[in-house]
A and B are shown apart, each in its own frame.
Chain A
Amino acid sequence: MLIGALRARLERLGGTVTSAVWRLGFASRFLFYLVVHSGTALRRFRLTIAQIYFAGVLSLVIILVSGLFVGMVLALQGYETLQRFGASESLGVLVALSLVRELGPVVAGLLFASRAGSAITAEIGLMKATEQISAMEMMAVDPIARVVAPRFWGGVLSMPLLAGLFSAMGIFGGYLVGVQLIGVDAGAFWSQMQAAVDWNNDILNGVIKSVVFGVAVTWIAVFEGYDAPPTAEGVSRATTRTVVTSSLAILALDFVLTALMFTGGNHQ
């Protein structure tokens, strides 16, 4: 009796694990096929530009406003702590490094997942549910090349730009609060920032993070959309899964990337 229940439980656990691995395999094969069939998206770059507009430009408002506020809050909180140690001049460094290394890519990635990723999943899922994908196949047009690939590249190209703008906006917010409101010396704020932020170690690593997050979020979004059961419930579940999975993926990848980038003595 007990052994039977235990066995059933183990079997369920095993089933969950194998189906997750299968799904990862499907998603990887899907990504491979997608990259191989990206010719149309790159040759007719107009298609990709339209998607950069939908994924990138339309996400600008939320990204810029969030960046501004995150920067302003960082300055407020940072000043509080730094002035206790008489280091309030370093406020610019604190704001810039936090944003460029961590908050820019991560928060922009999370916002991108919920704003653009969910939209991509819902759009592809609904195209499938309303037979638009089948219609395209019937017209001898490969939907992965024509629908999925431009959305993928549009997202991948947008994400680093959005993360960059988020950081820039955040630094501006830090300046507004730190210099204009609190009265930290503007010269110290900017010159210490310039001296302390390193191109390779900080900015480039931040850009690499944002590229990785962009690939992860957009990959998850297009796969979930294409894989969604063609029903209202299926599409809504897929959209939720996109946001949850890509947020978790961003946090996990961020930990791994940070561990690789900022440990091992390659950074002073």
Chain B
Amino acid sequence: MTNVVELRNVSFGYDPSRPVLNDISLSIPRGSVVGIMGQSGCGKTTTLRIIMGAYRPTGGAANVLGHDTGALDTEGLYAMRRKMGMLFQFGALFTDMSVFENVAFPLREHLSLPEELVQDLVMMKLHAVGLRGAAHLMPTELSGGMARRVALARSIALDPQLMLYDEPFTGLDPISFGVIVRLIRELNDSLGATSVIVTHDVQEALDVVDYVWFMAAGKVIAQGTPDEIRASSEPFVNQFVNGKLEGPVPFHYPAPQYDADLELAG
């Protein structure tokens, strides 16, 4: 099986003394749904940005869809992104366009298709997310879950080979959540794509993904199938998966002595 994404010893930081990513190596095979999980601020969104080419690694190499992202110019980067789709945390729909025009946007920008074909393609994509009837609505008229489904339809408009999801489950009600989970799996399998889900909703995500990379403090600390992760004895993973208060991650943010702050001392 070939790898669609291959990060080799990738490091990244805005400031060399404080790296955000520290020597990350991970690979994502074609056709799989892979989760990158960890606490907020552990570097998982940065990893996603490395994969989409928004950031260039300051050390190591990122190979995505056969391109070395560090060596691409803007043209090359855009050519690579045409084969990728990305679902943003809150959808990022264009608020000045209708649902139909949002989904038609990538088609109109990249292909010069006859209008009837655009119409057919948009309706097919909207049908896939169950929102064909909402084509004429404006984004402000949609619920959060619907907006995310429209954004999903837009991100698959050009039939991407690699789908990236940035916190796709945040702020969804249980029904919308179930719909999104099912869509991620179905679209991945019907498009023959590869999907990467970045999330901290561990329990939910473990039901969807084939494989998990677990991150903490800019490093990969564990990897495995969902069952292996659930059974992991690694203290951090154990604390995180089970939502325990005590463990390697302290409940308290580093602070001076409590009595000193309450001015009890002396």
Contact = CB atoms under 8 A, between A and B. Distances in A.
Contacts of A137: 54, 81
A140 B82 contact: yes
B109 A130 contact: no
B78 A130 contact: no
B177 interface: no
A146 interface: yes
A236 interface: no
Nearest to A126: B95
A241 B74 CA distance: 31
Interface string B78-96: 1101101010111011110
A130 B93 CA distance: 8
A138 interface: yes
Contact of B52 (A138, A142, A146): A138
A192 interface: no
Contact of B94 (A132, A138, A140, A142): A132
B55 interface: no
A130 B95 contact: yes
B81 A139 contact: yes
Interface string A133-177: 011011111100010000000000000000000000000000000
Contacts of B79: 140
Contact of A138 (B74, B86, B95, B110): B86
A80 interface: no
Contact of B109 (A127, A132, A141): A141
B81 to A, nearest CB: 4
A139 B89 contact: no
Contact of A140 (B81, B89, B90, B93): B81
B13 interface: no
A134 B88 contact: yes
A138 B109 contact: no
A135 B82 contact: no
Given A137-B54, A138-B52, A138-B84, A132 B106 contact: no
A230 B65 CA distance: 31
B158 to A, nearest CB: 8
B85 to A, nearest CB: 8
Contacts of B78: 140, 142
7 contacts: A138-B86, A139-B106, A139-B109, A140-B77, A140-B81, A142-B74, A142-B78
